[in-house]
Amino acid sequence: MKKIKSVLISVFDKTGLEKLADTFHNFGITIYSTGGTFTFIENLGIPATKVEDVTSYPSILGGRVKTLHPKVFGGILGRRSLEEDMQQMQEYAIPEIDMVIVDLYPFEKTLATTRDETAIIEKIDIGGISLIRAAAKNFRDVLIVPSIEYYNEVIDILKTNNGAATAEQRKLFASRAFAVSSHYDTAIFNYFNANEKIVAFKESRQEHKVLRYGENPHQKGYYFGNLNESFEQLNGKEISYNNILDLDAGIHLIDEFSEPTLAILKHNNACGLASRPDLLTAWKDALAGDPVSAYGGVIVTNTPVDRQTAEEMNKLFFEIILAPSYQEGTLEILKSKKNRIILKQIHSAQTNYVFRSSLKGVLVQQKDLKTELAEDLNFVSTRQGTPDEISDLLFANKIVKHSKSNAIVLVKNKQLLASGVGQTSRVDALKQAIEKAGVFNFSLQGAVMASDAFFPFADSVEIAHQAGITAVIQPGGSIRDIDSIEYCNNNDLAMAFTGFRHFKH
């Protein structure tokens, strides 16, 4: 236990400072402060000492240099248990500082509101970050409070311990301080490295949510970030780890479509998807794609949900629905299941990079942002695709891009008929899709096929043709592409190469 006899306060945001300063005054703690902080405390009628009176040096360079002085940092870094340190502090009239309270300049908030480089640079805190590190380093003797969010906890500590703090508490606050400083420096680095000339993995998220569990109940789970930036929850139970994975997959998939579209997902893959002039028809056709897998699924649409569609949806048990808005009367219908998660999308969740842990390291890659257009199609077959086939090929290619590899997608009239996903063989993925289409009574006559990667042999094209497929889209690039091309030419199939593979693991 260590008594707090003095505190240095240097904060940008004065929120909550009145209660804190009053507590210090009641415990007889000497307050040192700077600039606007000193004026704020003085106006409260609470005695304080200017840092300039301690250092005998004014704040200079427009406030850039205030606390960067041996009498300040000596008072923080001096080791009370080391006789030599204490002798030097006495020799140079350096006061002991037992607590440091710092609120850093709002660099990230400034970055979010302006592109003015001068304004951004001026919000890079120098003195504050130095005070945090110094006090945290000397946690055996100093309590560091690096954020407004800890003010109430500090007040409780002082009241509980009669103006003192334990060694355990000081070390905990030191850990928090380094979390604040490392996050702050990461944000600054990423700003300066926006052109990515320095190859480095620097990511930091302080805001977090403790999830009920991870992928399975025996695993802990956390989400680092702010879900409210992506959607507003209007109803239902707490969102889970697996829900977040499904929502991420669904949002990225639905972003591919501009016309009214609805997708039903299960385990990050679309089990139903259709684009139609109205949402009700899109819902019925998406559900028809796999009404079995749709049970307990996640519904994502880019179109406001109307009452009639909500009534039809409500006949099925599903876990989540996400839409841009809900027309009058629809929420009452959908909320009839109290645990059903109803979300209003705020904006797209697109990001430029994807990263995942692997082999005690981190894999980082650019997001697959390539979406093929009609001009990207290179028909390598003698027969070129008809306008309807081309429309369906592009539609199918969007879906297969967001399906787990190996993946095959079968489409007709902008409706997902069936897919085979997550298979170790492309032939197996195709056979799975064909079998599934048959189970739900879909005719594949005149349908198209999309593959996320090239066909190493002609067998997939042959099997697809025998099932009724008339057009194929794939990246191409196999040393045996000619075998698939010849089969298409001999059987009047149209086949387009895109030159872009879309593996997803």
502 is catalytic: no
Give the Cβ contact number of residue 472 at 10 Å: 27
What residues contact 97, with CB distance under 8 A and at least 6 apart? 6, 7, 8, 32, 72, 75, 76, 135, 142
For 183, residues 6+ apart whose C-beta sits below 8 A from its C-beta are 204, 206
Name the token pair of 319.
């876990």
| CA–CA gap between residue 77 and residue 71 (Å, rounded) | 10
Closest by Cα among 379, 300, 309 to 344: 300
The encoded tokens of residue 52 equal: 């300039």
> Which residue among the candidates 5, 14, 267, 337 is catalytic per the annotation?
267
Q: Any idea which residue has 């001096």 for tokens?
A: 78
Closest to 41 (Cα-Cα) out of 65, 22, 67, 64: 22
Closest C-alpha among 456, 473, 245, 298 to residue 378: 473
For residues 103 and 34, what is the distance between their CA atoms, to the nearest angstrom?
12
- The active-site residue out of 137, 209, 335, 337 is 137
**Beta strands in 421-504, from DSSP E residues, in sequence order:** 448-451, 471-474, 494-497
**CA distances, 26 to each of 29, 36, 40, 96, 164 (Å):** 8, 22, 17, 20, 13
402 is annotated as an active-site residue: no
Please name the helix (run of DSSP H) or strand (run of DSSP E) that holds residue 90, with its range, or none. helix 83-91
List residues with catalytic annotation.
137, 267
